[in-house]
Amino acid sequence: MGMPRQNLARPALLLSSAQFYIAAMRTRNLAGNKASKSNIAKPGEKTQAARQKLPDPARVAEIFRRFQAANPHPKTELEYVNPFTLLVAVVLSAQATDAGVNKATRPLFAIADSPAKMLELGEARLQDMIKTIGLYRTKAKNIVALSARLVKEFGGKVPRIREALQSLPGAGRKTANVVMNVAFGAPAIAVDTHIFRVANRIPLAIGKTPVQVESGLEKITPEALKHDLHHWLILHGRYVCKARAPLCDRCLISDLCQWPEKPSLNQAAG
């Protein structure tokens, strides 16, 4: 079972955050409109420019309100017992399902729940325990290497800073953000394939890269909601807004979604 994360100080209701956000974004949009009057968009750029502008603040606030009402305290589906085991689980989750990772890590974490114990286990035994996960050889090598780095440079502790986390073998920006968010309660938004798809599809933040989407989400999300937004969008993309067959008829924000390929109510009924 995952260790309970600390309860972060956040507003009991979303309304105050939404009102503050709406006021701030309206001011930003007005300033942006004044600055853009001197720039005339080329014919081929009109559609792209329309999609790139910041989304309507009231619409975004309502999306956040519905997510929060449906799932006030979202959590990761990866199982872990401490920051180190979370880090290992996230490294293993690349191109793998959380369910598949959990199946492999339950017996693994029972005997290797620290960097020192992972080094004692060794790469060969680790490979054998995670061989049901894709790219297990590379992942085993990275996990042993990052365990060694943690022991040598960080006193066996998982660092809380993104740059330090990203310096570990097998840990990129997404992994760092997940660990910061889940293990340490930081308002970090990790953009995986689900969040990338959902953010572009609704849309909440348009971007060609995960970093662009992360930046866009940072701009439109109140600070008090950044911690939970990461989980809301992952779960929404995993179970509702799927890549190949999105369940638009079951979507709690279907009426607010502006995806051009979204089936109409008449099509869904038919």
Q: Which member of 103, 192, 242, 262 is catalytic?
A: 192
Cβ proximity of 67 and 240 under 8 Å:
no
Cβ proximity of 2 and 76 under 8 Å:
yes
- Cβ atoms within 10 A of the Cβ of 18, count? 21
State whether the Cα torsion 9-15-16-21 is positive or negative. Answer: positive
Q: Which member of 34, 46, 56, 174 is catalytic?
A: 174
Q: How many residues does the chain have?
A: 270
Alpha helices in the chain (DSSP H): 15-36, 46-52, 57-70, 83-92, 98-111, 115-121, 123-129, 136-153, 162-166, 173-184, 193-201, 210-220, 226-239, 265-269
**174: annotated active-site residue:** yes
**192: annotated active-site residue:** yes
Cβ proximity of 201 and 233 under 8 Å:
no
Instruction: Write out the catalytic residue numbers.
Output: 174, 192
